[in-house]
Amino acid sequence: MSKGEPKLVRGLGLLEAITIIVGTVIGSGIFVAPSIMAGYIQSPGLMMGLWILGGALTLCGALAYAELSSAMPRAGGQYVFLSESFGPLSGFLFGWTYLVAINTGTIAAVAVAFAKYLGVFVPGIGEGTTLFQVGGYSFSSAQAVALVVVGFLTWLNTTGVKTGAAVQNLFTIAKFAAIVVLVVVALLVGKGSLANFRPVLSLDLGPAGVTLGLFAALAVAMSKALFAYDAWYTVAFASEEMKNPERDLVRSLIFGNLGVTLAYCAAVGVYLYMVPIGEMAAVKDGRIAAEAAQRIMGGAGLGFITIAILVSTFGCANGLILTGARVVYAMARDRLFFASAATIHPSYLTPANALLIQGGIAAALTLTGTYSDLLTMTAFSSLLFNTLTVAGLFVLRRTQPNLPRPYRAWGYPLLPALFVAVSSFFLVFILLGDPRNSGLGLILTAIGGPFYLRWRGRPAVA
């Protein structure tokens, strides 16, 4: 980039970094995924175990990412890490998949979840309510609302990084407080039953799990939990806009993900306390949080948790849109994407074109599948590249031993190796358990190959 051209502004501090993590991670998954998971597994112990394991995996990954982020605090996060570890093709394929499946698919799923919960107040909105048909394909009212959400937040984030960050701070604090209130009130009211946790550990499978077998059922159920934990790494994408990335990236990755894990496990515990796992899968539209809140506080509880979830999903989509466009921007700056995506808005100093491209793809994905389908596709693709990125930590320790590392991953090499091993197990069985949606993620990644051949070799933007 030449002198005098607009550049990204360093406007994000530690608070904004933590709220980006918490805000993008806590979206729709924790309020819907447990109900979907109950269709595969009917054991309270296994249900809680998957959420605890997901949090542990996330923390192991965050420790590795903290080292990578402190050593390479540049816009693009994983795109940069993978390019340095395995070469530009791997970085490009991540960025491409993040654009066409992982991030945009998550934005789409979260926006649809927003619409589903809006249906509590506006009964005509839902995935089962057809708005119009084109060529035999039905478009639901939930998809229409999701399109509006994606469009509005894309526009909002073009107006400045501080604008997007301010929205993120407000909505993150509100959603985290709502989970705390739900947990505390459930314990104080005491309308649930500890008998719902018995037998603590069994191998009972739900209707969808019986046809898959134990390991595949566990893996597909885990994919829903991993979707809820996903986006824990997104703050690294915006590291070039942080005031003190070497210090604040590490702290935000660790403390942000610890907070999310505690909140998730507490919430799932409350769901099980209030709703027997055998009833979870039958909850309408998967609104397990709304069902639990209604049993705790009646109609007032339903209204409270619905508002909280609308705030949560809106804030989550905002955080994903804010950070995800930085990956597209970084690729374009390296001449591995359309050059126009590297343009910084002259007034707002944001990657406006990258935001528009990302918003357009997210809007298209809202029209392609159901919420559950989007969960599996995005979780599988994301876990695949997360595994490769953590494996890259071992490569960089060997190939670039003198790279400045303000923070070195705690527990190395054991914890990163554990992350890679456990993640690889779930990747195999997610693919076996849901080949259609996980395979779609692989196909979308492979489509990026010809584009890389088209763009490679062009000089990077100075």
- pLDDT beyond 60 at 2: no
What digits encode the pLDDT tens for the residues 280-339? Answer: 988 876 788 889 999 998 888 888 888 888 888 888 888 788 878 888 888 888 888 888
pLDDT confidence of residue 1: 45
- DSSP three-state, residue 183: helix
* Alpha-carbon 417 to chain mean position: 22
- pLDDT beyond 80 at 86: yes
CATH code of the domain made up of 14-455: 1.20.1740.10
**Average pLDDT over every residue of 118-127:** 79
Could you tell me the CA-to-CA distances from 434 to 138, 380, 384 in Å, in that order? 24, 10, 15
Upper half-sphere CA count for residue 135 (Cβ side, 13 Å): 0
What digits encode the pLDDT tens for the residues 341-371? Answer: 988 888 877 888 999 999 999 998 888 766 6
In the chain, the N- to C-terminal Cα span, in Å, equals: 4
What digits encode the pLDDT tens for the residues 368-389? Answer: 766 667 777 788 888 899 999 9
- pLDDT beyond 80 at 37: yes
12 vs 141 pLDDT, higher one: 141
Whole-angstrom Cα distance, residue 57 to residue 418?
Answer: 8
The β-bridge partners of 137 are 134
Upper half-sphere CA count for residue 12 (Cβ side, 13 Å): 33
**Average pLDDT over every residue of 219-223:** 87
- Helix (H) / strand (E) containing 135: none
**Average pLDDT over every residue of 27-36:** 85
DSSP 215-274: HHHHHHHHHHHHHHHTTTTGGGGGGGGBSSHHHHHHHHHHHHHHHHHHHHHHHHHHHHHH
As a whole-number percent, the residues of the chain with pLDDT over 70 amount to 89
Q: 378, 306, 385: which is closest to 77 by C-alpha? A: 385
Parse the chain into domains and list their residue ranges: 14-455
What digits encode the pLDDT tens for the residues 411-451? Answer: 999 999 999 999 998 899 888 888 988 888 899 899 999 99
What pTM was computed for the model?
0.78
Quick one: tokens of 407?
A: 């923070």
The β-bridge partners of 12 are 242
Q: What does DSSP assign to residue 126?
A: S
- pLDDT beyond 90 at 7: no
- pLDDT beyond 80 at 193: yes
Q: 103, 118, 178: which is closest to 148 by C-alpha? A: 118
**Average pLDDT over every residue of 201-211:** 83
pLDDT confidence of residue 389: 94
Residue keyed to tokens 């077998």: 213
Question: Are 425 and 387 in contact, with CB atoms under 8 Å apart?
Answer: no
